[in-house]
Amino acid sequence: LSLFLCLSFICVSGLWATDAPPAEITKAARLGVAEFTQRGITSEMSRPAAFKQGESVVSTGYGFPVYTVTPKGMAVCSSLDAGAVRTGLWRFVVMSGDRAASLITVARVKGNWQAVSIGGAQLADEITRIMKQWPQENGYSYRFIRIYQARADFMEIRKNKNVVGYV
Predicted structure pTM score: 0.78
User: What does each of the 167 residues of the chain score in pLDDT, given as a tens digit?
Assistant: 333 333 333 333 333 334 789 999 999 999 988 887 776 654 444 444 555 555 555 667 789 999 999 888 878 887 888 889 999 999 999 988 778 888 999 999 999 999 999 888 899 999 999 999 999 999 999 999 999 888 899 999 999 889 999 99
| Residue 28 region by backbone torsions, left for phi larger than 0, else alpha for psi between -120 and 50, else beta | alpha
What is the DSSP code string of 29-41? HHHHHHHHHHTT-
CA atoms within 13 A on the CB side of 162: 3
pLDDT of 36:
79
